[in-house]
Amino acid sequence: GENVEQHPSTLSVQEGDSAVIKCTYSDSASNYFPWYKQELGKRPQLIIDIRSNVGEKKDQRIAVTLNKTAKHFSLHITETQPEDSAVYFCAASRGNQGGKLIFGQGTELSVKP
C-alpha cells in the first residue's frame, strides 16, 4: 500500500545550525507534499507545502525540495531557533485525493540554545 518513510526520528541541533528532514514515498501518483509542525500538546499546523510541478519552494528560513524521480522530498530549516523545537511530519497525497494524506512517522526536532 501507500507508504511514506521519514528520517530521522529524532534530531538535535544547536541554535543557529541547519536541520534537514527527509521523506520518501511509494506512490508514484503522489503530487502534493505538505509538511506539518506539531508542538507539544498542540495540533499539527501546516508550515509549507509543495506540488509535483515544482522542485523547490522557500518561505523565509524554511525550504522544501522535491525529487520526483527518486520519490523523495526534504525539509530544510536554516538558522534554527529554540522555538523550532517540535515534531515535524511530512505527508503525501495523490491527484484528486488531496485530503487523503499519508503521513510519515514524524521527526522530533530539538534545538538547543
Contact pick of 22, 27, 49, 63 for another protein (by CB under 8 A): 49
Integer Cα distance of 48 and 63 in angstroms: 8
Rg (CA), the chain: 13
Count of positions on this chain that bind another protein (CB under 8 A): 28
Q: Choose between 28 and 46: whose C-beta lies nearer to another protein.
A: 46
> Which range, of 14-22, 66-74, 76-84, 89-97, touches another protein by CB under 8 A?
89-97
Residue 45 interacts with another protein (CB under 8 A)? yes
Residue 101 interacts with another protein (CB under 8 A)? yes
Residue 27 interacts with another protein (CB under 8 A)? no
Contact pick of 21, 73, 104, 107 for another protein (by CB under 8 A): 104
